[in-house]
Amino acid sequence: MLAALDIGNTNVTVGIFDGEEVRATWRLATDIERLTDEYAVTVLGLLEHAGIDPRGIREAIIASVVPDLVPVFEQLCKRYFGVEPMVVDTGTRTGVRILYDNPRDVGADRIVDVVAALRLYGPPPLIIVDFGTATVFDAVSADGEYMGGAIAPGIGIASEALFERAAKLHRVELERPKAAIGKNTVAAIQSGTLYGYVGLLEGMVARFKKELGGKARVIATGGWAPLLAKETRVFDAVDPNLTLTGLRILHQMQQRSGRD
């Protein structure tokens, strides 16, 4: 089995693959203060609950936008799975040409998403929207090149900023309100947050499609994707496991290139 780990600013997403089959996925809170053994207790407990023997994990791959946690999870893989993990970085061959001004500035998770989207949802052009700590829009040209994208504050951190800066506004559950015109403060916050982000989403996708010059397919991923997908028809596919699948595909690619 393969352990795929996507280390983001808010969550660490863990996926266990048996071949191409996803056996289990989990989201852990990102905390740079946690030690290897502390994360291991959580991961091993989740594996046991899912009936997965950690001794069956023979390979691992890591993508991270939090540099401080890379050695933590490398050590976890070595100590508890007995494997040397592959770490996706700027030197990893992905088969994707990056047209960013400085390719090193592109987060590993963004290119991993592109790899998965091209394999699963091609042919390009494609637009990938990842709803995480940030809301990230990525554009893939008709030739399969990574063109660049846009980054907006994520729906979660935008809500937190509102609550922190406005003394009379309290945290509310982000769910669909009964109407766009809220009749109370809770409904008004829910409307402004949810429908406001739908407007952002649809507006950005329209601009991306125009600049791509063709009818691009739109793929959503990330923790907030299912909530936003219920409020718009802009998506052609919603895939919460896109990044983990991309890691699996990259791992297979590296293995094959190593044998050639």
3-state class of 136 per DSSP?
strand
- Element holding 28 (H helix, E strand): strand 21-29
Alpha carbon of 140 to those of 21, 64, 105, 123, 211: distances in Å? 26, 21, 17, 10, 11
159 close to 151: Cβ distance less than 8 angstroms: no
Annotated catalytic residue 113: no
Catalytic residue among 18, 31, 68, 109: 109
With both helix axes pointing from N to C terminus, report the angle between 108-121 and 242-259 in degrees, rounded to the nearest 10.
90
3-state class of 82 per DSSP?
coil
Catalogue the active-site residues.
Answer: 109
